[in-house]
Structure 1
Amino acid sequence: MSLYKQLWFSIVLFMITSFLGSFFFSCVSAKNYLEEQLYHKNIDNASALALSLSTATQDRLSMELLVNTQFDLGHYQFISLIDTDGNTIAVQFDDRDYSEAPRWLINLFPINIKPGLANISNGWQQVGVLTLSSHVRFAYKQLWSNVKQLFYYFSLISLIFGVLGSVFLRWLTKPLHQAVSQAAAIGDRRFITTKEPRTLEFKAVIRSLNKLSKHVQKMLDDESGKLEKLIKRTQKDEVSGLYNREPLLGRLTSFLHKQNEYAHGALILIRIVDLFHLNQKEGRQAIDSLLVDFGDTLKEACASRSSQGLAGRLNGSDFLVILPACDTKAESAGRDISERLLCVCRDRGLNNVILLSSCTAYYSGENTSEVLTRLDNGLQDAAQNEAPAYIFIDSQAPTSSKIGEHDWLNYLKTALAERRFSMKALPVYSVQEKLLHWESPLQLRHEDGSDLDAAAFMPHISRLGLSSQLDRMVVEMAIDILKQNPKPLAIHLSASTLTHPALMGEISELIQQNSQLSKYLNIEIPEHGVFQNIDGLRAFCQLLSSLDCKIGINHSGQEIKHIAKVHDLGLHYVKIDQSFVQDIHNTPAYQVYLRGLCTILHSIGLQVIAEGVCSSEEWKALNTLGIDGGAGSFFSLRKETDEG
């Protein structure tokens, strides 16, 4: 039984008990009072009527008429006049049944009134005896009126106390509901903290729960910090602080397989000519210091040009810079970075350092080795020139032949207006070989009837500020698909969604209008957008908290140090970026990293799904690391079976 019901039950029980006690004592007191007052009234009435009879004509008829008149005028139960010989002169009696009070009250509290007696005389001689009694019905009427007033009073008091008690209890138990909500969130592995109430007992409970949440958050910070250090040791070059060859090329491969705005970008390859002789001539310490400055300069250049930009050291003398979403500015970016590095050399007085640079654009679907070969050929061409040399290698986008000279802005606006977008269906499996959901990357139907993958148009969608319109359309398309065929469906929203509260509200309203389908809907946000707009994600999760849809983070793994920020948001799963999954069975360092990452994510109730699984060897290795599911080309052969 709830506290509110217990409160009302207690108030009603108390008031009924009080009412019954008050009712009994009040009725007994009123009964005794009425009996006494009516007895005195009977005596007074009898004396007054006897005086009238004594002074009036005392023949039998006159006396009888006077008694009858008095009975008719007054409210008497009976009047009796008897002479001295015991003969009845006059008698009147009212035996009618009146309904002044309920029968149970009359039976429970019978009112017995003593009659009034008076002698009638003629001078000094007694003529007769007068006996009368007022009618008891008026006494019962007054008694019943008192009972009703008492009942109304107690009912009103009960209602007032009930309402006031409910309000007070609601205020008093607000911290209790707060504690219950926090405990439920902790049970769901969302370790939230709440404000401590003023009530001492509840304050102790909330304080304990907050202490637990903070302890878990500290544990997450510590563990993610350890993993961050581990991945830095395995991924980063000790001297320059840049990525090593394997993780850098893994990230490049991941970008080449993406279907978002980062599927296109710029690549810059820089080579220090004859580094071995420079070490001998200038000294190892001076060159190491130069490499440190190179690393800092490249990291600054990457951060200023692309939110996902990164740089690495392929070998002792070669540096590779990846600038996603900068394919249209590849030449200017390459030239700017080359000049920055030359400035570093001049600032250190190392004018004899020779740099060769080549730059090109990469596009989704290209092969990693082909792109690197293109850059190497560029360096060979640069070596033929007088140093320092810079070469830009033009590379046409795969879709240029289809789009031709179309203006991308008009082209995409027309496509949005005509809703020429569609969704593919790619399966995501659990380690138990069960289908988790279908991923739904976008396609754009070209005018010639062919389909463009998202990698071809998403960079332009982002660059032209059309992400909000497309995200809204994606949700509408997903709902239309679910209406026709309800099945678990994952849609990808852009990171910019989290920076537009109005758009988040519109998406929430769209899902709310089709709430019966929300349990099939999975919404994914890229990791780089999540940690840059954590408050936006929190607001988005709160908007969708009353619905059954799931929210996940995709392309994850690079921002492990921030993972503690999402422990209280109510997320459902995280998808690990392909760069950590590629060739995982032959990469012990990444195995240790993924095992630790899975442990952390599982501790806060999140599923872990691997992206870009390409082989059975990778899938088997992932199964031993704690992964909950996987997606990628390895599962494409099962698609037709599941759809059937």
Structure 2
Amino acid sequence: MLAAHRYLNAQLAQQGEAGVRTLAWALSHGAGTPGEQAELADELFGQGLYALVRITNEGNSAAIERSARRDTGGVDRDWRGAWLDMDAPEITREFTAADGRSKGVITVQADARRARDTLWQGGIRVLGLVLAAGVFWAIFAMSLVRWIEARTSRDICERVRSLAQDKDAALTGSCEVAGVDQALVDAQRRVAATVEEQNARIESLQSEIYRDPITRLSNRRHFVDQFRLALADKTADTGGHLLMFRQRDLAQINRHLSRAFTDQWLRSSSERLRRLVEEFGGPATLIARISGSDFALLLPHTSAPQASLLAERVRRELRSLRVPMDKYGWCRWALAMAAYAPGDNMSDILARLDHALMCAESADDDQVAPASQAADSTRIGEYSWHDALVTALEQHRFSLSAQPLHDLSGTLLHYEASLTLHDISGTDPVPASIFMPPAVRLGLSAECDIQAIRLGLDWLFTHDDALTIPVSLATLAQGSFFPRLERMLADRPALTMRLIIEVDAAGLVEQGADVRQLCDVVTSAGGRVGVSRLSQQFGAMEHLHEFPLSYVTLSGSFITGLLHSPGSQHLAATVVATAMTLDMAVYAADVPDTATQFVLEDTGVRAIRRAVVNSAHAHDLAHDHQWVPS
């Protein structure tokens, strides 16, 4: 419309120019009288194309004028003219005579009404076309929206139905837009129920991954992850302790009792331990079953007194959870505890604990064994222990050291032997207190004890004194040991007369048949048998008369506390009296001071020593050595 408006205004200006040129030419070539001028003006104005035609002769006196505005009273009351603003310009031009003299001025103005009417009609047509297009678009848009709503409603309903567990179940409400809200509510309810079910299933799967299936305690995988996080915590005061305890007789329990009973016993015992840890341990305390018979209690952010107190509670609880055994009376637990700090090596800590557990097994009590943290400790793997021991046995890389034992008068009674393992790499020799616990674990204790006896017989060949060789109780439990021992003693009957085999007093109670067979083999060959650590197993006193023993030894905390305990002094006197009745000598080890020595002398103890030489027992173990399980 704006382009048409500009075009029509240009046409009106051109029309005025054309009219003034035509009239000026006509007047310049002939029309000279006023009548002729009027005739020409009427002819031009009569075409209906001009709103004003004026001829003014010389002197600016109006001569002839034809005007549409004058004919209409000079006022254009049509509102369309004011709105459309179609005004043609007045074109003025002089006309001259033939000789070039100016004769007057012509003024012509084109009539804008036709242009205005044309523009108005075109605008009406365009407006009508726009309105028709708008109506058509509105109808199309409404139809499209209704189609989209219907299609969307059907799609939502179909999707909501697919969420239902029952595919044929009808939804609440219709599939129209008004019923979609209720359908979405139904779908949200179903989705919420499904999410809750999936979360419960995820929690169940996580519990299966991180829980032991029998005890429902954390398994080894979860324990290792938590322990690694505790060791990676670099904040201040984040050290803690780790307690490990082992059920030593789980295999025997499974053999003598039903598997269902064993599982139920483990489950109930674990539940009691878990409640105990929750009551007395911190929020970060974790108890886990890391293998069939091994359990671990992680105590982060705990001091040594706190950890020791909780370990003692666990020990008492384990003691109350024991079940009877045919051979040992009650099932046995071994406990060990180690401290850790941020940045420590997890394998080293577990290695020290495993070695401490083996020491506790050798000690044959349920006291918590400390795990050493010495920097110069021996750290080799379990498989490496096996290879090292087997290689040493094959290559006979063992030696025997002997320490003399004198009676109170200074007379030499006998020598006490200790087995040592030598490494081909040239490192320091490994004492029996280090390699015997792994040998017991690996079933090689009998081989090591056979080596000790063989070396002992060689020592007796070059010496004239008697020699005591300790033998572990695990060795007596191996049936192949006694035939080999009998053949070795039979080959050297002269040397056997000065050989003394020493066993732990616990064997008189727990392995009476094995100890009796040992006594038969040794005494038949002319040798003697001694008993160590009687003070750790006073129950053996009622069996002393059943065995041909040469001597018994009192040691450990019983001796160290003897000076301040009248009851212990009376018990020591009883042991001496009983031994003398049975023609046995009584020795004392671990004597702390001279005052205790005087008490023992008055009691009747024949020999006193400040250190115990017995490789098979836990109180002899060097706590600054440890080994790492592979």
Q: TM-score range by the shorter chain?
A: 0.3 to 0.5
| Structure with greater helix share of residues | 1
* Structure of greater Rg: 2
Greater RCO, CA 8 A, separation 6+:
1
The TM-score normalised by the length of structure 1 is 0.40
The TM-score normalised by the length of structure 2 is 0.40
